[in-house]
Amino acid sequence: MTEDHKSRFERDGYLVLSEFFSPDQTKEMVDQMNQFERDIVPKLEPKYVFYQDKQQTDSIFRIEFLQQHHEWFDQIRHNETIVSLATEIMGEPMDPRQVEMFGKAPRIGQITPPHQDNFYWMLDNGQGCTFWLPIDPVDEVNGCIRYVPGSHRRGLRPHESSDTFGFSQGISDYNPTDERIEVPIKAKPGDLIVHHAMTIHRADANPSDRLRRALGLIYHAHSAEENTAAKSAYQKKLFQSWEKKGKL
């Protein structure tokens, strides 16, 4: 990573590195994700995989803790190059956490409301980041990620309950000023996108005929303390609500 890359991340709260992975690495990533969905997802407990429509097995919009179910995903979160990059851009040692898959099924993929990851993570100093690795080509038609540049330097915004299953909270005061400066990120398999835990981002729905998936690699700083009690209580209440609504 260059000094220019680092300064852009510090300024904007996100960074796009095109063709970060080699063609062979990219093919392996896509193949591993396809194999995981085909062979492992059908065996997962409902708490690990979420569907837009439970009756449609191809409507997955999120898979959590992939590293617990397949060695390859555990290895990629510990990839020395990625961990070193996280450490360099955040300015302190970073710990690999979980691996997720974010999906938007063709025609029915829902919106991702504007949010800051740290609202969910509950880190005391907000020092964390997410690496977003496209599995499919992503553009403004099929629900690319959109960032509000510099928002990571302006504190945690208020969040409120969202109607979007799987993204229970969204920024309550998101406004036209935010929308006006949004930056949509087109990306392809092999690219790498990384954003700060405090960077505001969202994504549109996917009305297209194309699948939109991405891996999310999450890292927390050594210095960050997680409010585990509050997070566990929140997640327990949330899952109980989803179960009552028949979402799980």
Supply 167's token pair: 């993204």
Spatial CA neighbour of 38 closest among 58, 61, 68: 58
**Rounded to 10 degrees, what is the CA torsion of 136, 213, 30, 54?**
-130
What are phi and psi for residue 224, nearest 5 degrees?
Answer: -80, 135
pLDDT over threshold 80, residue 68: yes
DSSP-derived 3-state class of residue 41: helix
- Tens digits of residue pLDDT in 161-213: 877 665 668 999 999 999 999 999 999 999 999 999 999 999 999 999 999 99
User: Angle 80-90/3-12 helices, nearest 10 degrees?
Assistant: 60
pLDDT band with cut points at 50, 70 and 90 for residue 101: very high
Percentage of the residues of the chain whose pLDDT score is greater than 90: 81
The C-alpha atoms of residue 41 and residue 63 are separated, in whole angstroms, by 8
pLDDT over threshold 70, residue 248: no
- Tens digits of residue pLDDT in 72-87: 999 999 999 999 999 9
> Mind listing the domains of the chain with CATH numbers?
3-244 (2.60.120.620)
pLDDT band with cut points at 50, 70 and 90 for residue 242: very low
pTM of the predicted structure, to 2 decimals: 0.90
**Rounded to 10 degrees, what is the CA torsion of 64, 70, 74, 77?**
-60
> Residue type for 206, please?
N
- Tens digits of residue pLDDT in 110-161: 999 999 999 999 999 999 999 999 999 999 999 999 999 999 999 999 998 8
